[in-house]
Structure 1
Amino acid sequence: MQRRSVSRLEPGMCLAVDVLRNDGVLLLKAGVPLSEQQIQSLDGVVHAVYVRREGFDDVLSRAVVPDETARFDLVRRLEGIYCFLYEKYVERADRGERERIAPPRGAGGGAVEFRDLMQVDQALRHCARSILEDVRDRRYALLSFDLPAPKHNSLYVFEHAVQSAILAARVLENSYREGSFHYVEDRGGHREHREHPFDEKRFEDLLAGILLCEGGMLSIPREVLAVPIFSPEDRAKYLYPHPRVSREMARLLPSLSPLAGAVVANHHERRDGQGYPRGSTDHHPFVDAAILATTFDALVSSRPQRPGMGTAKDDKACHPAEALERLFALAAEGAVHGGILEELARYVVPYPFGTTLVLSNGDVGLVVDCTDRVDPARRQRPLVRCSQNIRTGRREGLWEVDLASRTDLTVQSAIYA
């Protein structure tokens, strides 16, 4: 099984995992050879898919395959929530604001529609509790770190919010079980262990806040979102104000807690004051956790206007290992919370199933096991099944390299789509 971008698909390849439409309906079923027409039907829907590859059919049995139907239910509920709240926000905005921002748009087909704010509030709580219960019961059905689901182009904003909330939930899972959030705070070179009370109510509030973070993105005109990189003018006019719009949308829900409101308002801030919209530096640790979750998911996400995972450039998504490197570099500069980042790094799989790796000895192969159920080192040092060596020219047969035991080898590069 290999992860491939749609642009690299060829007729005759077989899907290893079902592909759903953006309304959650099955588009293409796994196991059927792809035709040229079917490949074209994927273009513009998702950026990448998982395909079968000879000699790698056993890989899928080792991976945790997420429940896409359940995840889509959350995504479409959130789309309905965003559209309803944004419409109410525009109704209350002054004339100048209405002229600047995008007009309200109806929720897409398959999205949940609401009659009033009470329904919206209940739906938001339902989404937060669904994520909390998935973590509490250790089902992990909504998000697989070792087999990430490609996002749908038309649903990026909503999927980003949902997956950021799920990521934060997984990072905070043990803290919730222990009744307090433990983390390390770096104070002038001294590492101090800290803890904050953490219960189910705070957990739900935190998730509700993360789910609402990107509501303000609806205020950005679609023609502005369509470009790979925002111009300085568009950043100032549209991008930097969107957390404020998100916060105003969130204020429409009277039951939203101050913690959730702080998450919405500050999810693009940085500890060095270089974030936006306020340039604040002092945040509650739960807000720092939300900042890291949303930032990580944004780094690894393909977007309609941005190519898939590759090198870490502003106009291109990066693979999970590279995203972690970028975040640790930011932590070293004091931009993000290093102690909480260490907690996040414990859960993220740097090289998910189906990733193509080039090793320091020239071996090239696919990740066939990155779970830590047997060996904790496996998450960071996966099992790679190789099919060629670019130094010796070997291309016969398949051989496995266990990076957990081969400490003399390193990953030279990774191709994730």
Structure 2
Amino acid sequence: MITKVLQLNHVREGMKVAKSIYGPHGEILLAAGVSLNSFYIKRLEEMEVAAIYIEDEATEGIVINDVISEKTRIEAIKLTKECMNNIKLQSSVDVAKVNQVITDIVDELLSNNNIIVQVLEIRALNDHTFSHSVNVAVLSVITGIALGFDYKKLKDLALGALFHDIGKTLMPESILFKTEPLTQKEEEIWKKHPLLGFDILRKLPTINLTNAHIALEHHERYDGKGFPRGLSGNVISELARVVTVCNQYDKMTTYQIGQPRMKPFQAIEVLIGNSGKFFDADIVRAFLGIIAIFPIGSKVTLNIGVKGIVIEAYKNYPTRPKVRVLTDKNGEKIFPPYDIDLTDMPEICIIKVEEEG
């Protein structure tokens, strides 16, 4: 059973973890099913984990499944860390291992005919680079599937997306992990990471220029106002245009130091508002089809005054999930709760997504 996301300052001893919590390198900090105590809560605070899923009787029987297996996700995070560290040390990269992980990701996603992304990945904030890279790769492949890419194109997309930020391995940590705004000089240095990434990837064996151009162009803008080369429109490689959308969405919807997390519907509004400017409008449309606007576990208010939790989301009806009603118009708990499927009741809609916690 899984309920809403709770911010860590709302978590109490005795609550049970509903979804595994990951460390910065893919390791499990706390597994699903563990009861929280003061030591665990303090440790999560130290690791800068901002929020977690907690089990709750009101949502008994609801399960949120990730789009790839926990094993594949952890292996991909570990591999990303290993490759980036090897680049820092000017050591070799195990290309065969990279290809295996890429194949696993693509194959798992292709085996799911009705993918809809609704899992908020809970991870430590003190180094989110590796898990961010995996998230972007997964989102990119799912978008590529929606766009009808063939198998080879999906693997090229996955590889380039996984290493789109590899140029950051050559960036000073004082810039990468700075919480205050960058100075003009620091920003100029930071903006070099796509060029550095391109240079790294094009020199690796069996990595083709298609993969390398994803790293080079993932900060280009559709209107030509991006960097490093100011490319515009379809001059930017199609795979890079996909990664640009997925990269921005993951950054907006993930807890980061000094930056509040947007809810999916808020991030989607940003993508739609910038279609044709920052982003390719056709790719944004494809992306919207794979994202749950109201993910399972979201606390919502309906236009009839009642409040509840989203318990099921539908790929073809992103604004019409199934909601378990928990409180009446006066805020009194309803027992037993009842479910409303918004696809069957067009007169009812979600008017507000409640704060987490």
TM range (shorter): 0.7 to 0.9
8 A contact 1:164–1:294 mirrored in 2: yes
In structure 2, the residue matched to 1:310 is none
Instruction: Please tell me the residue identity of whatever aligns with 1:343.
Output: A
1:169-184 → structure 2 map (5 Å cutoff) = 169-175=141-147, 181=148
8 A contact 1:243–1:265 mirrored in 2: yes
Distance (Å, rounded) in 2 between the aligned partners of 1:214 and 1:32: 34
In structure 2, the residue matched to 1:287 is 240
- TM-score normalised by the chain length of structure 2: 0.88
Residue 200 of structure 1: how far off its partner (Å): 2.6
Alignment equivalent of 1:351, drawn from 294, 300, 305: 294
In structure 2, the residue matched to 1:37 is 39
In structure 2, the CA distance between the partners of 1:413 and 1:221, relative to structure 1 (3 Å rule), is farther
Unaligned segments of structure 2, at least 5 residues: none
What SS is found at the alignment partner of 2:135?
Answer: helix
In structure 2, the residue matched to 1:159 is 131
In structure 1, the residue matched to 2:107 is 133
Distance (Å, rounded) in 1 between the aligned partners of 2:43 and 2:113: 32
8 A contact 2:118–2:292 mirrored in 1: yes
What SS is found at the alignment partner of 1:380?
Answer: strand
Residue 266 of structure 1: how far off its partner (Å): 0.5
Residue 144 of structure 1: how far off its partner (Å): 7.1
Whether 2:333 is the aligned partner of 1:395: answer yes
In structure 2, the residue matched to 1:329 is 273
What SS is found at the alignment partner of 2:311?
Answer: strand
In structure 2, the residue matched to 1:245 is 196
Alignment equivalent of 1:204, drawn from 152, 155, 159: 155
Alignment equivalent of 1:300, drawn from 243, 249, 253: 253
In structure 2, the CA distance between the partners of 1:70 and 1:416, relative to structure 1 (3 Å rule), is farther
Unaligned segments of structure 1, at least 5 residues: 89-114, 176-180, 182-197, 307-314
Instruction: Please tell me the residue identity of whatever aligns with 2:54.
Output: V
In structure 1, the residue matched to 2:324 is 385
8 A contact 2:68–2:109 mirrored in 1: no
8 A contact 2:26–2:77 mirrored in 1: no
Instruction: Please tell me the residue identity of whatever aligns with 2:250.
Output: D
Distance (Å, rounded) in 2 between the aligned partners of 1:237 and 1:158: 23
Alignment equivalent of 2:282, drawn from 322, 334, 339: 339
8 A contact 1:63–1:353 mirrored in 2: no
What SS is found at the alignment partner of 1:55?
Answer: helix
Alignment equivalent of 2:220, drawn from 269, 272, 294: 269
Distance (Å, rounded) in 2 between the aligned partners of 1:29 and 1:262: 38
Residue 72 of structure 1: how far off its partner (Å): 0.9
In structure 1, the residue matched to 2:17 is 15
Instruction: Please tell me the residue identity of whatever aligns with 1:47.
Output: A
What SS is found at the alignment partner of 1:408?
Answer: coil
What SS is found at the alignment partner of 1:14?
Answer: coil
In structure 2, the CA distance between the partners of 1:199 and 1:238, relative to structure 1 (3 Å rule), is same
Instruction: Please tell me the residue identity of whatever aligns with 1:265.
Output: L
In structure 1, the residue matched to 2:92 is 116
Residue 229 of structure 1: how far off its partner (Å): 4.6
Cα RMSD for the two superposed structures = 2.6
In structure 2, the residue matched to 1:59 is 62
